[in-house]
Amino acid sequence: MTPPRAAVSRQPLRQLKNRIATGLITAGGIGVLLAILAIGVFLIWETLPLLAWDQTFAFSKLSPLAWGTLKAALAAMLFALPIALGAAMYSALFMSARLRSRVKPALEMMEAIPGVVVGFIAGLVLAPWVERHLASTLALLIWLPISAGLAGVLWHMAASRWRKWLPLSWAGLWLLPWLVCMVLLALWFAPLLEQFLLGGDLRRLLEQHWGMDYATRNALIVGIAMGFAVIPSIYALAEDALADVPTSLMEGAQALGASRWQALWKVALPAAGPGIFSAVMIGAGRAVGETMIVLMASGNMALLSVSPFEGMRSMAAAIAIELPEASPGGLTYHHLILAALVLFIFTFLVNTLAEVVRSRMRRRYHKAGRH
Amino acid sequence: MSRFSDTPRRRLMDALWPWLCAASVALSLLMLAALLALLVVRGLGHFWPATLEEITLRSGDSVAGQPTREAPLPQADGFERLYFTANRDIDGASWRWVNLDDIASRSTPSDLIRLERNPWGDFIGRLAGVETGGQLLREDQAWRYLTQALALPQAERPDAELLLVTSDGQTLRQPLSNFSQALAPNAMSWWQKIHTWSRNVWQFLSQGPRAANTGGGVWPAIFGTVLMVILMSVIVTPFGVLAAIYLNEIAHQNRLTRLVRIGVRNLAGVPSIVYGVFGLGVFVYGIGGTLDSWFFSDTLPSPTFGTGGLLWASLTLALLTLPVVIVATEEGLARIPDAQREGAVALGATRLEMLVRIVLPMAIPAMLTGVILAVARAAGEVAPLMLVGVAKLAPQMPVDGEFPYLHLERKFMHLGYHLFDTAFHGEDVQAAIPLVYATALLLVLIVLVLNLTAIFLRHYFRRQRGSEC
């Protein structure tokens, strides 16, 4: 065969072009990567002047912010973890494939809802409502899991005809109306219970007996709102990890006499442990760095309190509020940059840890003979 | 020997746990649905011409307004209702709480009207007459004259004065030029209401804000958001693709490359506010300050580029979304089988020709997905913008007829920040809330549509490519 015909005189030009383009791409690629790395360098560089100042002041200024960040993230994780992990376990192992292919994108859409919208709903709708109905809110938080269990008990007691109509694999959908009814029931019943058991408003009681202040925008609200925002990211990663567990493992366990739940709890969960761990880590990283929700739903008071009914100010929110007003080069400016550096390092480390753990797990499954 | 114990208690728990898990799926869906339903109902409901009510109190006073919501009385039993009574120039306030026990009678007379005007906000009451050219029109004639005059463009409207009567009998006289819209919602048919509703929605989308963001529309915010996002994607696409090509096609695949890849992936998880800090410190104060001292020293100390602006905001968001584009493009490049590349090289193509003619065309869907995801992320991001150039009310649009047409140094309005600012720093939050709902709905819709597009694109191309790869 004859080689493709190209004018001999043009060959060097082609090679030259190729070399130049390769050089340009390399330069551009490295430049972009350096620009990304520059973020860390810049933050460290701008924090260095702080070394010349008094250290204790920086500490006293940053510690309430650090505590606020932790408190907000903790509240969010407390709310999000059970829901996200429960949802992941259910949809990876119990849900029917058809429903799963619909529910998964729907929950991923949840992640796309901008933080500023969630924050607005939390700060201006949820917070005043919870302030007026504190007892109902707490009752709901306790009652909803119980009512889910109740649904299970009723289902097991129901006639088999009913069970066929309402299978467990579609429960994620048909439990919706049940939950709505239970919410309404709790909302109707809680005020009566409050009146009967406590003899009055729970909020007043908190204030008089335990001396707890109640702020409208508090850790409870932030927990719910930010929990809502991190549920989808934890869910998506944990679900992937669980779905990746080789089915042969589950089948083996069930062949040895385990119930489905036991196979999940004793076999699938430990096997997917690293993946779930990394999901939780990434969720925590998101909760620590989320700005708008905390800014809008927390009241932004720099407090050092453990009460779930008091607000806080997180590092991210402090940066968003104070940095535009801080004069460049001033003490506040450098403090806020230090806060940004802490956020950066924390999330970077957490994510790297999660990534390493996850890729290890992938390699293990690869060896176990899947993919 | 079994590790799988089988006591009755265990069996009960085994049977119940899956239900708790199922309930958490249902609860997540419920929360999502509730949020969206709330936004849709409150966001779209605001534009519906609401019925106006006239109530007579036991004290004999009469109040006209739009009932908004009810709440229990703070100290005693019973409820109170909030009315939007407008008429800020007469009453000094446009809201009024009325104890339900104080109301003697309620009615919805069809001659109650609601006028939009500037200054003083809306008027609610009755039209007594219109005086034009020494002639006094009354009743239906006056109303017809008013609606016809308001249908004309602002400049062509005739000189006239309106005689208005409030519900409690005070009269006032105001020039026609103050008014922009007249509605008699109680006398409207369904069809007219739907017509008014769609006109209001259109005005919301196409007009600028009025009365300190409590009225009017969000057009400048939409424009600012879109322009910023377009600029951002123009910046982020080439650089992101370049970095991905370098990482996947040119760099040696060794430990360092792997580390860099993990690093880039993790940057997607770094809080957006950190990017904002970087943008403020490097772009605004660093580069912007230097540009000012070189080219705009005559206007110093008032900064030109040394303050937040459109360019810096786009650059910051480009940096923020760079990892998204790089990761998506790299995934696309990695999916292309090596046989394609080897075939091209074997036929005598140089690396550049192989990349441009074979690899890149196959990776276009992945790039597109990455860019759309980046746009979706950027459109919803507010925190970094607060540091690098968003404004609550930008006096000038960033694009106009003045040379150089696109003003990169100007501040701009953004939907997300507009929402935040109106909801939390507005003067009359009560009046602004419905608009905030509408803005939130718009923002969510934009972001969801973008995300859905990305999902469908990915799905579509995967299916189409399925046979090749």
The per-residue pLDDT for range A49-88, each reduced to its tens digit, is 887 777 777 778 888 888 889 999 999 999 999 999 999 9
Shortest Cα distance, chain A CAs vs residue B164, angstroms = 36
Q: In this predicted model, what pLDDT tens digit does every residue of A155-169 receive, in sequence order? A: 888 777 777 778 888
Mean pLDDT of A311-332: 85
- Is pLDDT above 50 for B39? yes
Best CA proximity match to A333, nearest among A324, A343, A342, A345: A324
Print burial letters for B169-208: b (CB count within 10 Å at least 16), e (below 16).
eeeeebebeebbebbbbbebeeeebeebbeebbebbeeeb
Which residue of chain B has the CA closest to A81? B24
Q: Which class in CATH covers the domain with range A53-132+213-368?
A: mainly alpha
Nearest to A291 among B16, B242, B273 (CB): B273
- Are A106 and B32 a contacting pair at CB < 8 A? yes
**Interface probe with B: pick from A228, A319, A358, most Cβ of B within 10 Å:** A319
B454 reaches A (C-beta below 8 A): no
Q: Is B32 on the interface with A (CB under 8 A)?
A: yes
**Residue-wise pLDDT tens digits, A177-186:** 888 998 898 8
Bigger pLDDT: B63 or B3?
Answer: B63
Q: What is the mean pLDDT of chain B?
A: 84
Q: Which residues contact A262 (CB under 8 A, 6 or more apart)?
A: A253, B4, B14
Alpha-carbon distance of A93 to A336, in angstroms, equals 45
Residue B170 has pLDDT above 60, yes or no: yes
State the nearest Cα–Cα gap between A220 and chain B, in angstroms.
Answer: 16
A90: amino acid identity, one letter: Y
Q: Is the CB of residue B226 less than 8 Å away from at least one CB of chain A? A: no
Q: Over 50: is that where the pLDDT of A339 sits?
A: yes
CB of B259 within 8 Å of a chain A CB? The answer is no
Side-by-side strand order, sheet with B103-107: B95-99, B79-84, B62-72, B53-57, B103-107
pLDDT digits (tens, 9 = 90+) for B252-268: 888 888 888 888 888 88
Tokens of A163: 């069970």
The reported pTM is: 0.87
B123: its two tokens: 């008027």
What pLDDT sits at residue B203?
Answer: 85
B380–A115 CB contact, under 8 Å:
yes
Residue B35 is predicted with a pLDDT of 93
What is the pLDDT, as a whole number, of residue A241? 86
- Taking CB atoms and an 8 Å limit, are B24 and A86 in contact across chains? yes
pLDDT of residue A2: 47
Phi-psi group of B142: left, alpha or beta (phi > 0 → left; psi -120 to 50 → alpha; rest → beta): alpha
Chain B stretch 33-92, residues whose beta carbon is closer than 8 A to a beta carbon of chain A: 33, 35, 38-39, 71-72
Rounded distance, CA B299 to CA B286, Å? 18
Closest CA to B86 of B58, B118, B131: B118
In the block, which residue shows the tokens 């940057």?
B267
At residue B184, the pLDDT reads 85
Residues 135-194 of B with CB under 8 A from A: none
Q: Is B382 on the interface with A (CB under 8 A)?
A: yes
Please name which of B171, B175, B141 lies closest in space to residue B161, comparing C-alpha atoms: B175
Q: How many CB pairs under 8 A join A and B?
A: 327
Contacts of B281 in chain A (CB under 8 A): 42, 46, 328, 337
Residues of B within 8 A of A288 (CB-CB) are 271
Measure the CA–CA gap between B322 and B238, rounded to whole angstroms: 10
B272 CB neighbours in chain A (<8 A) are: 289, 291
Q: Which residues of A touch B264 (CB under 8 A)?
A: 33, 36
CA–CA separation, B167 vs A219, rounded Å?
45
Please state whether the peptide bond connecting residue A274 to the residue before it is cis, i.e. omega within 30 degrees of 0. no
Rg of chain A over CA atoms, in angstroms? 27
Cross-chain residue pair B436–A153, CB shorter than 8 Å:
no
Which residues touch B174 (CB under 8 Å, ≥6 apart)? Answer: B117, B161, B162, B164
